[in-house]
Structure 1
Amino acid sequence: MYWYFTWWHDDGTVERLHDALRGQVRVADGRSVEPSAGLIDSQSVRIVTVSTRGFDAGK
């Protein structure tokens, strides 16, 4: 089964299937096929620089 997934992922089938289903769900919900806006949540996009050197001033 995993072999099929990797094959379909690599040739773009999974992305095309996802796009088609998303469009059908949006139309069934009375919305446009393509979204008109996007949202990025700061909790979802967290950029943290981790240093393995230095000192802990709190100790």
Structure 2
Amino acid sequence: MLSDLFDLRHWRVWILGGCILAIVLTPNEPFSMLTAAALLCVLYGTGAWLSHHPRRHSH
């Protein structure tokens, strides 16, 4: 079940979750581990999106 969460198709969830975490946590704890984790979630989601939707379609 947890492995399903790391499926590249869930990139929207990662980006949204990371953004929400960053918005909620950053004003309270600017440089905390949780904020870093939120940014990592956004980066993971972005990377998953880029690998899931390549810019060049090679046929």
Q: Indicate the TM-score class for this superposition, using the shorter chain for normalisation.
A: 0.3 to 0.5
TM-score by length of 1: 0.36
- For the pair shown, the structure with the greater C-alpha radius of gyration is 1
Q: Which has the higher contact order (CA 8 A, sep 6+)?
A: 2
